[in-house]
A and B are shown apart, each in its own frame.
Chain A
Amino acid sequence: MSSTSEPHPESEPVASSKQTPSSESGRGSNRDLLRSDRTFDFSGPKQVWQGFGQDFKELTRRDRQFDFMIQAKDLELDVSHGPILYLEGLNISFDGFKAIDELNLYVNAGELRCVIGPNGAGKTTMMDIITGKTRPDSGTAFFGQKIDLLKLSEPEIAEVGIGRKFQKPTVFEQHSVFENLELAMATDKRVFPTLFARLSGAQGDRIDEVIDIIGLQEHARFEAGTLSQGQKQWLEIGMLLIQDPHLLLVDEPVAGMTHQEMERTAELLTSLAGKHTVVVVEHDMDFVRSIAKRVTVLHQGSVLAEGSMDEVQDDPRVVEVYLGE
């Protein structure tokens, strides 16, 4: 095996590589977040705990250290060629029904992309594939140049920096808003570190900061189950934000929201773009128009049209399948 790999930089643990203070403050440091030489290190020094539940064989291998370096190297987010998300030739069928059909989609780093399409177009299924919930029958899905999403599990995908808000908001109803965010926060999420975890001052501040962003200050100590639909949506977005993902997948964020709430959500999502890459699936056309620079129209599992909202709206095929109805 290779001798080119550097010894593992143990001085740079997970949290710091994902949440450098500089990447949190100010727009100017976007590039820092997306630096191609940044590695996502989840081997860390505490390999013993990582081995919990893993194959005994793997635990006892003498070249284990080396094995990890390969993994970390593979999981480097490389966006030097522009796009942060590459979906190519994806196919998936459920009992013979083609939900995704030769889907190609590229999303650039820092972009705010809206995906629209009629019911059953495959929008949610596409997100399922990106987040590892569903495996496609064929095709490729890459995060940056190097991370093959189809090889990673759901938690691993979350770890490399893809966060998702579901169509149906699912917050932890029995936990307070604060606790929901605490659980979602980007920390060491292995079993034993979690068992012994104590909330640091900085982490508490970060949670309060996110609570401010999503405007739930007054509800911080309330059980999430008591929130309104719109507030749950925000909490979900907050749970995404606090993981500090590179890519946010947001499925129908304004469902169940009042007009005012919608406006606030639009502001929130636009403010996130740049620092993060945001993919929004939404049915509400007014909402899409208010935030979108680039729109992708999905129909029967593949891309029907792509461009600015105006271009897409003028496309006769789009009018036929979607806007015209």
Chain B
Amino acid sequence: MGLLQPLKGDTGGQIMLAVLAVIAILVPILNLLVPEGSPLHVSTFTVTLLGKYLTYALLAVAVDLVWGYLGILSLGHGAFFALGGYAMGMYLMRQIGDRGVYGDPVLPDFMVFLDWQQLPWFWQGFDQFWYAALMILLVPGLLAFVFGWLAFRSRVTGVYLSIITQALTYALMLAFFRNEMGFGGNNGLTDFKELLGFDLQSDGTRIGLFIASVLALALGYWACRWIVTSKLGRVAVAVRDAESRVRFIGYRVDRVKLAIWTFSAALAGMAGALYVPQVGIINPGEFSPLNSIELVFWVAIGGRATLYGAVIGAVLVNYGKTVFTGAFPEAWLFVLGGLFVLVTVFLPTGIAGLLKTLKRRRAEPKTIQEASA
């Protein structure tokens, strides 16, 4: 048993976690201790960018858990990410206090602007961090639970399920665009000042958020590994490969799906909550159906059902996106689409699959030598 048990045999994951540990130590040093002029200096901008990639990576891990191991192609995980982000955003809004443009001690600016007299009930409690932290997991988790309960019970699967997950995120996007909803309409929530009393603009806070993202990713990864290496994980893969067979040997497939699906949504919510203070804004665009589709690409490109592949995919694709959208912004979607087609045709197991094959190729001659020796 032990804490390392879930990582046994997971070479890719071990390397990934080791790299995470290294950058968690190196990046703060290079940012805070190395002077700005030095070529080794890592700018705060880069730190935040890396932190953002890591939250995407956590989101991708959450998607891979349900897609890779349970066979549910969710095209709506962006919604859980955004909900976690909104929960964090609400806390950050309340932290602004009377430092807003209108100086209202309680009401966020957009509410004053809309001429609201008091805080809506669902904004209550968000001035407390513990409450917000709870909501970050609870709101996406609860939505996923209700959605999954309805969908899995009535045995909606495959493409139909994917479509309704798209519909879910689309519906939420439309709802959050409305001013009356009380989430800042199309401007969303922004102009954050502090998190737990720390100035969001300061280098120290940025580093803190970066390290929190590293920890969240490592923890989320470990938890997902723990699930997929458990017997429940083996049941999940069995559900993916032959769902009705699993039912006939006595498992309640709907509940297996519901449990893992809900967990995955809460994980996505956690990723969203770490994303928001780093990018400084959350708006309904995060619910865009396209976002959810894009993140499935990350997983596909990185390699489905490996978990660490999702991390690789998310980081690489988003790095590519940063580089590309700087140079030719219009071309990005075509590049991504092209990349996706190339990967599905030539690398159906993604980058992780490629790495595995390379490793095997390298290992094979060795074992032959050993055998003949």
Contact = CB atoms under 8 A, between A and B. Distances in A.
Interface of A: 52-53, 131, 133, 154-155, 158-159, 163-164, 166, 170-175, 179, 182-184, 186, 189-192, 194-197, 199, 239, 243
- State the 9 A-B residue pairs at the shortest beta-carbon distance, nearest first: A158-B250, A195-B232, A197-B231, A172-B238, A194-B232, A170-B245, A184-B249, A154-B247, A170-B242
Nearest to A164: B248
Contact of A243 (B227, B234, B250): B250
Contact of B241 (A154, A172, A186): A172
Interface residues of B, number: 26
B227, B244, B247 — most chain A CB neighbours (10 Å) = B247
19 contacts: A131-B248, A154-B247, A155-B253, A158-B249, A158-B250, A159-B250, A163-B249, A170-B242, A171-B242, A172-B242, A174-B237, A189-B250, A190-B255, A191-B252, A192-B259, A194-B232, A196-B230, A197-B232, A243-B249
Contacts of B246: 183
B232 A191 contact: yes
Contacts of B256: 191, 194
Contact of B231 (A133, A182, A243): A182
B229 to A, nearest CB: 11
A195 B259 CA distance: 10
B149 interface: yes
Interface string B105-124: 00000000000000000000
A186 B249 CA distance: 9
Contacts of A174: 237, 241
B235 interface: yes
A289 to B, nearest CB: 29
B234 A155 contact: no
Given A52-B255, A173-B241, A174-B241, A194 B235 contact: yes
A155 B227 contact: no
Given A158-B250, A172-B242, A189-B251, A53 B149 contact: yes
A197 B249 contact: no
Contacts of B245: 166, 170-172
Given A166-B245, A175-B234, A183-B238, A52 B259 contact: yes
Nearest to A173: B241
A198 B299 CA distance: 30
A173 to B, nearest CB: 6
Given A53-B254, A159-B250, A189-B252, A182 B234 contact: yes
Contacts of B250: 155, 158-159, 186, 189, 243
A197 B233 CA distance: 11
A164, A195, A243 — most chain B CB neighbours (10 Å) = A195
Contacts of B251: 155, 183, 189, 194
B152 to A, nearest CB: 9
A52 B260 CA distance: 13
Contacts of A172: 237-238, 241-242, 245
Given A53-B254, A190-B255, A195 B231 contact: yes
A196 B5 CA distance: 13
Contacts of B254: 53
A163 B253 CA distance: 17
Contacts of A191: 232, 252, 255-256, 259
Given A133-B244, A155-B250, A158-B249, A175 B238 contact: yes
B230 A195 contact: yes
B213 to A, nearest CB: 27
B237 A175 contact: yes
Contact of A190 (B234, B249, B252, B253): B252
A154 B248 contact: yes
B70 interface: no
A297 B246 CA distance: 30
B112 to A, nearest CB: 39
Contacts of A52: 255, 259
B131 to A, nearest CB: 23
Contacts of A166: 245, 248
A190 B232 CA distance: 9
Contacts of A173: 241-242
Contacts of A195: 227, 230-232, 259
A154 B231 CA distance: 21
Interface string B199-239: 00000000000000000000000000001001110110110
Contacts of B237: 172, 174-175
Nearest to B262: A53
A88 to B, nearest CB: 24
A159 B231 CA distance: 18
Contacts of B252: 53, 155, 189-191
Nearest to B149: A53
B317 to A, nearest CB: 26
Given A53-B149, A174-B241, A243-B250, 11 more contacts: A133-B244, A155-B250, A170-B244, A172-B242, A175-B237, A183-B231, A183-B246, A195-B227, A197-B231, A199-B231, A239-B249
Contacts of B247: 154-155, 158
